[in-house]
Amino acid sequence: MALYRIFSTLLAAVFITSCTLGEYDFVNNRIPSGYPSRPKPTPVPEEEAEPFVPVISIDVKDGQGIESKDEYVKVSVTIQETEDIFYSATGRAKGRGNATWGYEKKPYKIKLDEKLGVLGFVANKEWVLLAEYCDKSLMRTAYMCELARTVGLPYPIRYRHVNLYLNGEYMGIYVLTDQVEKKTDRVDIEDDGFLFENDNYFWDEPLNFMTDLREYWYTFKYPDAEDGEIVHGDKNFRFITGFMNDFESALYGDGFKDPEKGYRKYIDVDAFAKWFLVQELIANLEPNMYYVLPSRDSKLQIGPVWDAEWSLGLAHREDEYAGWAGLPTLPDRYKQIWSKWKYFGRLFEDEYFVETVRAEWQALQPKLPAFQTKMHSVAASISQAQTANFDRWQILGWHVSVGLICEGTWEKEVDYVETFFADRIAWLDAFLAGL
């Protein structure tokens, strides 16, 4: 046993040392024989000067920090959109996130006193600043959000890389996004609709429910449980719990393929197919799963997309119930994920759903070269600004949390993401053709 412990310690040291030298690369596999060759993104011409990265400055009243994700503090906010355009606002800010709140570089939520529209966003009061601490490419959220828009998934999330300052201190590159909420130009649904989440942290929310058959936990974004818009046992609560239980019974019942009595009675099949393509293409192992019922007379949609932290080959887990795999497990760029997990495992047993996915895939494929070019351009837009980010947070070449990939430079991290995505396109095309 003592020899085994010594050997294990030495093996771990080899992995960690090679990683900290910046040469560590768990995934160097090639496309298996029989898969189509990897499509290459269209080259982007080198730009003479880097585009200006917008700056957001948050100053907390009395120079305090933002120490809580439960309590807001008063802030003033300045947004520098270009070299010459500035906006100022007042409001409140707090921390946000679950596991991400425990990292050194923390995510934040801003709630302004008045609506503000900047950086191409529709005017709103509430905004999210994602720290992207685990994602050393700083690109995974951009991939997910842009891909959802490209595939035509309802309620796309806008995003923009920014430099963040807090009380005058540089905090690094963040991704500014929409808040997931019922609002015009965000999740624009009727007043009798629902926005809810299959929530791994359901116990932290003021109200939750578990479905009878699958025993999935859900929490509410709209109606708002914190404001008392929905409470346990009221008509809203009874309606949505009844709807989800009826949907699950139809999906897992003997007649689930029946177009009138099966699952198609309850869900927007196109939306589910599009969500599948987004998450499977980026191999997202733990997205936040939001669901929308636009009105009580509508069919259930899945979206908006959220949380790309463990996507594009950064981490590994065997299935939806398994814990995270540790070193030296290889993230697998050819892994079948969402055709087996959650409700999709059952949906893929119906040829109608498979054909819907194939049709959406055929519509998406011609758009992917332009998408890859766009992502390459987004990366180029922060190619100089990233230097200051990693001077502030010196994590290049180190494993962060369950992330199994650690390259020695930002450029290698971005190349890893681009290559993984291109390989994933080839794999998904072969996978769908073989069903």
Confidence at residue 15, expressed as pLDDT on a 0 to 100 scale: 39
- 5 versus 363: which is more confidently predicted? 363
Confidence at residue 330, expressed as pLDDT on a 0 to 100 scale: 84
For 84-130, what is each residue's pLDDT tens digit?
A: 999 999 999 999 999 999 999 999 999 999 999 999 999 999 999 99
Rg of the chain (C-alpha set): 22
Report residue 62's pLDDT band, with 50, 70 and 90 as the boundaries.
confident
Report residue 19's pLDDT band, with 50, 70 and 90 as the boundaries.
low
Confidence at residue 13, expressed as pLDDT on a 0 to 100 scale: 39
Q: Decide if pLDDT at 39 tops 80.
A: no
Q: Please give the C-alpha separations between residue 386 and each of 54, 139, 141, 174, 383, in angstroms, as whole numbers.
A: 13, 11, 16, 10, 6
Neighbours of 44 (CB within 10 A): 14
Neighbours of 226 (CB within 10 A): 10
Mean pLDDT of the chain: 90
Confidence at residue 170, expressed as pLDDT on a 0 to 100 scale: 98
Q: What proportion of the chain, given as a percentage, has pLDDT over 90?
A: 85
Neighbours of 320 (CB within 10 A): 14
Confidence at residue 352, expressed as pLDDT on a 0 to 100 scale: 98
Neighbours of 95 (CB within 10 A): 19
136, 173 Cβ separation under 8 angstroms: no
What's the rounded Cα separation, in Å, for the pair 427 and 338?
A: 14
Q: What is the pLDDT averaged over residues 193-218? A: 96
315, 402 Cβ separation under 8 angstroms: yes
Confidence at residue 4, expressed as pLDDT on a 0 to 100 scale: 34
Confidence at residue 9, expressed as pLDDT on a 0 to 100 scale: 37
Q: What is the pLDDT averaged over residues 374-388? A: 97
- Please choose, from the candidates 369, 300, 391, the residue with its C-alpha nearest in 3D space to the C-alpha of residue 38: 369
Query: Residue ranges of the domains in the chain?
Result: 55-178, 194-366
Q: What is the pLDDT averaged over residues 271-296? A: 98
Confidence at residue 374, expressed as pLDDT on a 0 to 100 scale: 98
Q: Please give the C-alpha separations between residue 265 and each of 244, 247, 251, 300, in angstroms, as whole numbers.
A: 12, 8, 10, 9
Q: Decide if pLDDT at 381 tops 70.
A: yes
Q: What is the pLDDT averaged over residues 230-254? A: 98
Confidence at residue 48, expressed as pLDDT on a 0 to 100 scale: 53
For 295-324, what is each residue's pLDDT tens digit?
A: 999 999 999 999 999 999 999 999 999 999
408, 396 Cβ separation under 8 angstroms: yes
Confidence at residue 22, expressed as pLDDT on a 0 to 100 scale: 32
Q: What is the pLDDT averaged over residues 2-9? A: 36
For 142-175, what is each residue's pLDDT tens digit?
A: 999 999 999 999 999 999 999 999 999 999 999 9
